[in-house]
Structure 1
Amino acid sequence: MSLRPLFPQTRLRRLRYSKVVRNMVAETSLSADDLIMPLFVCPGEKVKNPIKSMPGNDQLSVDLLVEKCKDLYASGVKSVLLFGIPESKDEDGTVATHEHGIVQKATRAIKEVLPEMYIIADICNCEYTTHGHCGTIIDGDVDNDSTLVTLSAQAVSLAEAGVDMVAPSDMMDGRIGHMRAALDENCFEKIPIMAYSAKYASGFYGPFRDAADSAPQFGDRSTYQMDPRNSDEAMREVEADIAEGADIVMVKPALSYLDVIYRCKHEFNMPVAAYNVSGEFSMVKAAEERDWIDGQRVMMEIMTSIKRAGADIIITYHAQEVAEILNKR
C-alpha cells in the first residue's frame, strides 16, 4: 500500500540531504569577525602562569601577551579584551588609573607591534582593590557614586594609552553616562563604550576570579550585580545604559541567559555582545578531558546557540580554537 496519499506535501528533510543546500539555507552564521578573546596581563618579563581552572589560558607578561596577540590575529581573531593583574592594589582601585598601569603598558606595547589589533579594556576595580569588590567601600558596602569617579578616570587613562574601546563591567548605576561625559571632555568622543548591561551575580565566574585574582574578600556582589531570577530588570538595565550613551550592550554570562540575549536584541535592536564566561568554558574543557563529550563539536554548538539567540559579538576563551575551525571550513 502506498503511503503517498496519506503523506503531507511538505517534507522538511528535503533541504537536509545535501551539505551544499544545508549551508545555503542556514539561518545562523558564525564568523571569526564575531569573536573577542579575553586575555590576562601580569607584571614581569617572559612570565607565563597557566590558569589551572582554564586549560590553555595563561596570565602573560606584556612581552608574551604581544606574541599571543600576533597568533590570535593570524588566526583571524582581530579583537582582544584585556584584564590586568597589577603589581600592587589599593582600597579604591586608583592604581588602575595610572599612566603606567599594567593594561596601559600592554596596550601601548600591542599597538606598537600590531596597530591593527582592536583592543578593548575592561573597566572595573575588582582586580585592583585590596578587598576584591568592584568599587570604593563605605560603611561596609560598595559606594555607587564615589566609584564612578575612579571608573571614569580609569577609562580616560586607558583611552590615552591607545585602547579602541572601553567596557565597564562594574554594574554601578549611572556609570555609562558618567564615563561618556569624562571621555568626551577629554577629546575621546570617538571611543565607543561596550556596557556590561545585564551582568548577573553568577556562579559561572569562579575560574575567572582565579585568573584575575579578583575574588571578594568579604560578602558577595549581589548588591550590584543582577539577580539570576530577573529578565525584566535586565531590560531596564539595558535601556538605562542605551539612554546614557552605550554603543554596545552586553549580557553576561551567555548560556544560562540566552533568553535575555534574545530579548535584548529584539526589544532594542542594538548591537549585542554576549560573554561566554570562564565557568562555561571550563565545563566544556573538563568534560572533554574525560572523553565525556566531543569538545570541538560542543564548543561550536554553543557558539552557534549564542549567535542564534541574537548576539552580534561573542567574547569567549574559545575564540582562537573557533577561528581556526572556521578557517578550515
Structure 2
Amino acid sequence: MFDFFQQESFLDKVIFGNTVLRYLVSIGMFLVPAVLLFVLNKFVVSRIKKWISKSSWKLDDFAVDVFEKIVYPLIYAGLFFLAFNNLSVAGQYKALVNKTGIILVTIFAIRAVIMVLNFMIVKVAVKGEDDEIRAKSMKGIMGLIKMVIWIIGIILVLDNLGYKVSAVVAGLGIGGIAVALAAQAVLGDLFSYISIMFDKPFKIGDFIIFDDVMGTVENVGIKTTRISSLSGEEIVVSNSALTNSKVKNYKKMVTRRVLFKLGVVYGTPKEKLEKIPVIIGGIITAISGARFDRAHFSAYGDFSLNFEVVYYVEGNDYNKYMDINQEINFKIYEAFEKEGIEFAYPTQTLYVKK
C-alpha cells in the first residue's frame, strides 16, 4: 500500500510545469503510433514494394516513393507535434515548435510538388523509343522549375511566419520584368526548347531539313540544337529558329513518294508509246521495296514526248531509295534499247528556205 502511494506521488510529481504522468502520456502518444508505423512498413509496405517491383506500371512505384519520402516523415512530425502540444510549455517554446512545423510542412509540400512534376514531365510525358535520351533532355528544365518552386515556397513560409513579404514580391516582380527584357532571346529559346520536348517534331538521331540547313540532330539543349550536316560539320541553331521554321523530318517518313519524268523523241510510233507505261510499270513492280503507282503520257514538250511516272519506296533509308532508283533507271534504259525507243535530248531543227 505504501509503495502504491509512493508510485502515485511520483506520477504526480511536477517537473518543468508538467507531471511525470503527462510526460509518459506524451511519450506514449509518439512512440506507440511510431512503433505501429514501423511494423507496418517492415511487414506490409515492404511486401507491397516487392510485389509492385515486378509490375511495369509506373504509377504504383511513384505512389510508394511518395509514401516513403513524404507521407512517413509527415506522420512522424505530426505525432511529435501532438505529443508536444499535450505538454504545458512556455509560450515562446510552443511558438518555436509551431514555426518549425510550418517550415517542415512547407518543405515536404515543395518536395511533393517537385516529385509530382518530375513524374509527370520526365516519366509520363516522355514516351517512345527514345525515352532515355528525352528524359535526360527534360531534366534540363527541371532545375529551373525546382528553383521557381523553392522561391515561391520560401516566400509563403516567410508570410506565414509573420514577415512582410510584399516588398520582396514587388522587388522580384520588377526584377523579373527587367531580367525578362534583358534575356528575351534566351527565354524565347527556353520556351522553344519546352515546345520541342513536348510537341516532339523531331528527336536525337532524326534527319531534318529546314531553310538551307540539313543534317542529323545530335543534341537538343536549353538554348540551341546541334545538327551534324552531311558534309560533316556541326551546325548550331537556336531553338526559336527551329520552332519558327518549316521543318521536314525524314526519319518519320514511312514511305517515300518518287516522281520522275522522261522524254522520247517525236518520231516514236504510237504502238511503242503505248508500251512505255506498261514497260515501266512491270520494271518497278518487279523490284523489291518499290511500289508502282502510275505511268502516263503526260505532255508534248518542245523536243520530246514526255511521260510522268510515280512510285513509292518503303521506309526512310535514303541509300535504299537511291539503290532502287538506280536499278529502275538501268532497267528502263535496257528495255528501251531492246524495244528501239530513243530518249529525247534538247535538239532544234533548222529549216532553210531556198
Measured against the shorter chain, the TM-score band is: under 0.3
TM-score, structure 1 as length reference: 0.21
Greater relative CO (CA pairs within 8 A, separation 6+): 1
Between Structure 1 and Structure 2, the one with more helix by share is 2
Bigger radius of gyration: 2
